[in-house]
Chains A and B, each alone.
Chain A
């Protein structure tokens, strides 16, 4: 029941509330083409092309996730993930009367910001917005920083370091190694 959610100008979106009220039931545990495109745009909003460096779409994060969840996730985990991206889209339709992929960058950011804040404010394992959105974001981050463009362009990648030094100078802006 979408009608339970009201938005005014500048109002905060409460995804947890939306989740409870308008989230559709999902019974198909693989993404269709449209959902992969949607996930790609969500991923790009979280990890966009920025300062000339590649973003999630360049790294084909959605395509990776599509294959990865088929291999590594349980059916329930796949359903939760798909439900999460559908809920984001449904929220877009309620808030902006448009599907997520048709939103401008600012609107997309505003929408996911609300999910991010809800996730942050509800560090409660029972809270689906927190658990599912945080999981989705972690998976996008994983897919991006383990991809070739993510690792090579956005991190410091050394396939063969050749040696170990315990102390090198670090200044703000220097990139992280691809490992911890």
Chain B
């Protein structure tokens, strides 16, 4: 029997509740607080105080007992998490361990979690590209998923709105496949990256090569200084938390901003059990949480609820929010809740060597790479697979892990290793995957976690489209690197499980029709209009962009809509 601790409904009532404090939850909190609503943010993880709790941020490599390598015990305890590139001795406190956070894999799926105030906004890769017209039109044109209820024009002003505040560096490239935004100064390409850019673009008239756009303050504006953030120092130790607040995170940006309004309450250690639905009013009235440490249940109430728990967690919460009206999960009349989950195809990588450029080097660590916006099936279907992929590449000079000419010992060897080697290129794909009904999440019928919440079962896999796309990347990437003058070009399949891309999306998709979607064009549940879902769960399709910027824009737009509706008395 759960021990309910209702201190009195009044004490626990707010204007708005936001579930989750990551990228989209932080934005929801900021927007509500700015608009004068008393807002409660429920975060299932521990509190993380900006700067103060970035305990490893200023450490030198030799200060870590294993200089960044994972101890065997950490690997054994975290077989899934230890496959994540960002998880290490220096970042272990910003990820959630496997042992205490079980889930069930109907098919292999690496679910990477960062349960804490700030969520994955502390550990994300910070690449931020807008979607284009073609991306929103994709499902309708190619006949998969459902039509997006919005188009680029609906989101464009909101992209601008969040970009100005978050601080996005980039170059105005004028491309319709990757629209320009409100950019701070772009990062530079190095000499080899430029050479490859020129050779690819002169050979392929329909392909573009640009510098990546990322959420780093290359040259802060007044709005960023007001947030207490400062210029990026090019350390690229971002995932430890940035003491300069130079990349966008909830902790550096939206949450402290929201707190300054006086309208924000953050409740860490609040594992959301479910959303409470009132049959009489046909509205959600609040959220039931279980304290992470004491396991005590508490209920909080609000007029409007934003679900921003991260894609699969948001699915889990809604599936577990059952009532006699919604026996299969909140708003789930059509049975599609948890279905049409998709992700990004990261299977293909290519490495190559390139001769020359010995008189050139670079200074500092750049937090982005070179980007090729999708060039496949942009205007019409051209290949034997649906949709396309974005290409990333970067060029570096060989480091001290390489083999040098001659013998690998002695003073000359040591000296050779302390000088840069030849240039090499690394290229990778980020492909769209097609949302399908059979790629889904659902709840375990007989197993619960330590908070009494049914375990999430994940049933997601690759298909033929993904392998055809990988092969196309292999042949096109190889051809482009050949044209760029590279040699020793080697393709490699990472063979990684879905999920390790950490771009899982869908399950609570947006759409025009309540029969085939869960959310409307403002991320509002068709069947429970005071509940909004604006994290990755809402995504109808995945396109090829890193998704977080789109979550931010959708969230700001949805809050604007919710508050307008509240003022009209509709919510």
Contacts and interface: CB of A to CB of B under 8 A. Distances in A.
Contacts of B419: 172-176
Given A71-B66, A73-B72, A138-B401, A179 B365 contact: yes
B417 A145 contact: yes
B418 A155 contact: yes
B66 A68 contact: yes
Interface string B362-395: 1111100000000000000000000000000000
B52 interface: no
Interface centre among B191, B361, B417 (most CB of A within 10 A): B361
A71 B415 contact: no
B22 to A, nearest CB: 27
A170 B71 CA distance: 37
Interface in A42-63: 45-48, 50-51, 53, 55
Interface stretch (B267-275, B288-296, B405-413, B462-470): B405-413
A141 B401 CA distance: 8
Given A163-B364, A180-B399, A170 B358 contact: yes
A171 B359 contact: yes
Contacts of B187: 164, 166
A7 interface: no
Contact of A167 (B71, B360, B411, B413): B360
A101 interface: no
Contacts of B60: 148, 151, 159
A165 interface: yes
A99 B363 CA distance: 46
Nearest to A148: B62
Interface string B13-38: 00000000000000000000000000
B61 A167 contact: no
A29 interface: no
Interface string A104-139: 000001001100110110000000000000000110
Contact of B364 (A45, A145, A158, A174): A158
B358 A71 contact: no
B452 interface: no
A47 B364 contact: no
A160 B60 CA distance: 11
Given A46-B410, A48-B414, A138-B401, A162 B234 contact: yes
Contact of A113 (B401, B409, B417): B409
A50 B359 contact: no
Contacts of B365: 161, 164, 179
Nearest to A150: B62
A68 B413 contact: no
Given A112-B409, A169-B361, A170-B358, A176 B415 contact: no
A13 to B, nearest CB: 14
A158 B60 CA distance: 10
B361 A154 contact: no
A166 B190 CA distance: 4
A111 to B, nearest CB: 10
Given A162-B234, A176-B419, A137 B363 contact: no
B193 interface: yes
B191 A160 contact: no
Contacts of A35: none
Interface string B122-146: 0000000000000000000000000
A6 interface: no
B260 interface: no
B182 interface: no
A74 interface: yes
B410 A155 contact: no
Contacts of B69: 68, 72
A177 B366 CA distance: 13
A21 interface: no
Given A165-B362, A167-B360, A174-B419, A72 B71 contact: yes
Contacts of B205: none
B235 interface: yes
A152 to B, nearest CB: 9
A74 B72 CA distance: 7
B166 to A, nearest CB: 20
Nearest to B193: A166
A170 B66 contact: no
Contact of B399 (A109, A154, A168, A176): A176
B67 A142 contact: yes
A162 B363 CA distance: 10
Contacts of A170: 358-361, 420
A159 B235 contact: yes
Contacts of B397: 176, 180
A109 B65 contact: no
B65 A67 contact: yes
19 contacts: A53-B414, A74-B72, A113-B409, A120-B408, A141-B401, A142-B67, A143-B67, A146-B68, A151-B60, A159-B235, A161-B364, A164-B363, A165-B188, A165-B362, A166-B194, A167-B188, A173-B419, A176-B419, A177-B420
Given A155-B400, A165-B363, A166-B193, 17 more contacts: A45-B410, A48-B410, A55-B414, A113-B407, A117-B407, A137-B408, A142-B67, A146-B61, A151-B61, A151-B62, A158-B364, A159-B235, A162-B234, A168-B363, A174-B361, A175-B419, A177-B420
Interface of B: 60-62, 65-73, 187-191, 193-194, 233-236, 358-366, 396-401, 407-411, 413-415, 417-420
6 closest cross-chain pairs (CB), A and B: A166-B188, A50-B411, A161-B364, A164-B364, A180-B399, A170-B361
